Amino acid sequence: MIRMKIRNRIISYVFASCAVVVAIFSFTVYYEMRELLMMNLDSEIRHIRNTLQDEIESSDRSLADILSDDEYSYFLIWVDGGGSVQVSPAAAGVEKPSSEKTRFLKKMVFNNNPKVISEYYRFNRKVLSIKGADYEVLTGIPIKKIEEELGEIIRTFFIAAFLSLLFIGGAGVLISNSILRPVKNIIKSSNIINSKNLSLRIDNPDTNDEIDELITTLNKLFERLERAFEMQSEFIANISHEIKTPLAVIGVLTDEELQSESLTDGELEYLNKINYNLSRINKLTRDLINLSYIETKDVELSEKVDFVPAINEILDNFSEMIADKNLNISCSFEDVLITGNSRLIYSAISNLIHNAVKYNVRDGYIDIRTKASGGKVEFVISNSCVHVSDENINRLFDRFYRVEKSRSREYGGAGLGLSIVKEIVLRHGGTVYADRHGDTGISFTLIL
């Protein structure tokens, strides 16, 4: 089945319907015109036959002499009466049509006769009573002019139909655009609404029609989605805050136990595992709180933020991890400032650099560059890493997505770091994406 857009379907339906109407109208008019012209021919035949009858009744001239008059030379006339058949000059040498061929359009071509008629004729046969005798009069009239007139009518119809269909096609486009304009506005408005601005609604013109019902239904749907998102964010925020206190207590108690000198090796290993997993839970809690903050709070985006000091500070924070893996750091900075929220931008850059360090290979590299381009600021960080497939690259910014479960257990983390980066960038109206860098590297580009 051929798939068509609604707009094209409307145009096709309008065009096809009007084409059928034009075709029926044209055929009807053509048929009526043809019948009218044929009736005119029959009337002309009756007139010439009546003239001939009057001439025979009122004149002493012979029938052959009367038929030789110029007024009969245009017609094929056979008069059968008194034991003989007299013909008009045009019918001389032409075989008289049989009765069953009368009143039909026939091309009379007689190859065995010295005279050939290659035109269509309209015939009419009638028996007349003249001077007490019966005469069978067969009269034929050429229809060449009728054919020419009908041909002209057909050509006119074709031109008129073509122009009409062009007009109808244009009207169909205008009608479809008029019908679908509200639908396009709905699509445009719906595409603007996302998880960050679910409070927006589609403007309803109150037309009291199906479009009105559709807009009302969609707005109610957005209301339910907004409430669901709010409840989800509130739940995550509340749980995260509630869990912070018991985690802090557990952390304090574990640290106190680790200070004890009477611990056995098994107990020490056990407490270290508790501490390690506790730090993972604390990081997950912080990430969830950050996500909730980004999604639900009205964030101030009016600060002037300098990338370079933030990058240098973050690199300094991860200096021990960088030294442990013997990573080669290269930087190329342009003096760039952006307007935004310094806390969130710092968090985004920190997450990207932390990932570049954590998932790097020993003796690998990290390359960081900033530059101004087209009124925007680009932050690009590239690093060596274990090979990441195209499928995984496309999903790196999904929440809780981790490339490999085994590697996740090795490096820790819950798969929220890059999701937080994406949310921060979107809140600032920017874009962020990942791509390959060389054969085994990966790069992240942040544009604000």
* Domain of residue 396, CATH code: 3.30.565.10
The answer to whether 180 touches 7, Cβ cutoff 8 Å, is yes
Residue 246 CB-half CA count within 13 A: 5
Reading the chain (448 residues) residue by residue, the pLDDT tens digits are 567 777 788 788 888 888 888 888 888 888 888 888 888 888 888 898 888 888 888 888 888 888 888 888 888 888 887 678 888 888 887 777 765 444 444 444 444 444 455 677 888 888 888 777 888 888 888 888 888 888 888 888 888 888 888 888 888 788 888 888 888 888 888 888 776 677 788 888 777 788 888 888 888 888 888 888 778 777 777 776 777 778 777 877 888 777 877 778 788 888 888 877 777 777 777 777 776 667 666 677 778 888 888 888 989 988 888 999 999 999 988 888 888 888 888 888 988 998 899 888 899 999 999 888 777 889 999 999 887 777 778 788 877 776 655 444 455 555 677 888 888 888 888 899 888 888 788 999 998 8
* Domain of residue 197, CATH code: 1.10.287
In degrees, to the nearest 5, what angle opens at C-alpha 84 toward C-alphas 81 and 86?
85
Q: Is residue 167 part of a domain?
A: no
Of 148, 169, 184, the position where a domain reaches its end is 148
Q: Is residue 153 part of a domain?
A: no
pTM beyond 0.85: the answer is no
Pair (313, 241) in one structural domain:
no
Phi and psi at 304, nearest 5°, equal -90, 120
Residue 370 CA to residue 333 CA, distance in Å, equals: 5
Write the pLDDT tens digit of every residue in 336-356.
888 888 888 888 898 899 889
Which amino acid appears at position 193 of this protein?
I
* Domain of residue 112, CATH code: 3.30.450
Q: Which domain holds residue 263?
A: 193-297
Pair (305, 270) in one structural domain:
no
Q: Is residue 183 part of a domain?
A: no
Pair (427, 340) in one structural domain:
yes
Q: Is residue 184 part of a domain?
A: no
Pair (252, 350) in one structural domain:
no
Q: Is residue 182 part of a domain?
A: no
> For residue 78, how many other CB atoms are within 10 A of its CB?
21
Q: Is residue 390 part of a domain?
A: yes
Q: Is residue 179 part of a domain?
A: no
Pair (311, 393) in one structural domain:
yes
The one-character DSSP state at 327 is: -
Pair (98, 12) in one structural domain:
yes
Pair (292, 313) in one structural domain:
no
Structural domain count of the chain: 3
Of 131, 148, 165, the position where a domain reaches its end is 148
366 contact partners, CB below 8 Å, separation of at least 6: 322, 327, 328, 329, 330, 353, 356, 357, 360, 381, 382, 383
Q: Is residue 177 part of a domain?
A: no
Pair (242, 198) in one structural domain:
yes
Of 247, 281, 297, the position where a domain reaches its end is 297
Pair (279, 407) in one structural domain:
no
Pair (269, 384) in one structural domain:
no
DSSP 236-248: HHHHHHHHHHHHH
Pair (304, 427) in one structural domain:
yes
Pair (281, 311) in one structural domain:
no
